[in-house]
Amino acid sequence: AGAIAHCLQSGGRSVEVFKPVASGCRRGGGGQLISADAEFLAACADSSRTLAEIAPVRYAAPLSPNVAAARAGVPVDIQAIFDGYSALVAGGRPVIVEGVGGLLCPISDELWVVHLAKMMALSVVIVARPGLGTINHTLLTVAAARSAGLTMAGVVINRYLVEPGKPDIATETNPAQIAALGGAEILAIVGEDPATSVDGDAL
């Protein structure tokens, strides 16, 4: 999500970024929960939004949102999520929504990420790892998206790396397999770059 936002922003297309619910947050001044994901998204989009606007629901424990909420004794505020998203949409700019743990990750006991994506009418970009095992994982996600009636934008293969002299047949053939078996467009293959930093200051 951050890379998409950064590319669009760098190309002159202003966008909004949104993280519906974030876990694994750190405590800031005054005990405020701060999401590193929200900070990174804000930096990628060069956003002037507050972190609370980008990530309206936050928890300290690095757990699925429903479990983090139960442990904190603070129910997930679903209305705050929709209000926050609606406020960004009202600005007229495209809104890039970062997922939370995958389509079948529970946000609450009743609402999963896939349900939220459907209710927000989002087009889905699946980010997949390149190596052995990714065909199964990716096609399961594609199937879940289609079963829910979501619009599939396509798949991004992330951190792709085949070293010279070290053939990796699985990695080399997986993108074509995913496209053929899943009927999913491969939008991009993003190479592994050890020099790349996810620190917002490095953008």
Q: 5: alpha, beta or left, given left = phi > 0 and alpha = psi -120 to 50?
A: alpha
* Given the residues 19, 35, 57, 88, the one annotated as active site: 19
Task: Give the pairing of strands 33-34 and 26-27.
Answer: antiparallel
Considering only CA atoms, which of 1, 4, 3, 5 is closest in space to residue 22?
A: 1
* Token output for 169: 């047949």
Active site residue 19: yes
Distance of CA 109 to the CA centre of its chain: 20
Alpha-carbon span 151 to 68, nearest angstrom:
29
64 half-sphere exposure, CB direction, 13 A CA radius: 14
Give which of 117, 180, 123, 125 is closest to 158, Cα–Cα.
Answer: 125
Active site residue ranges = 19
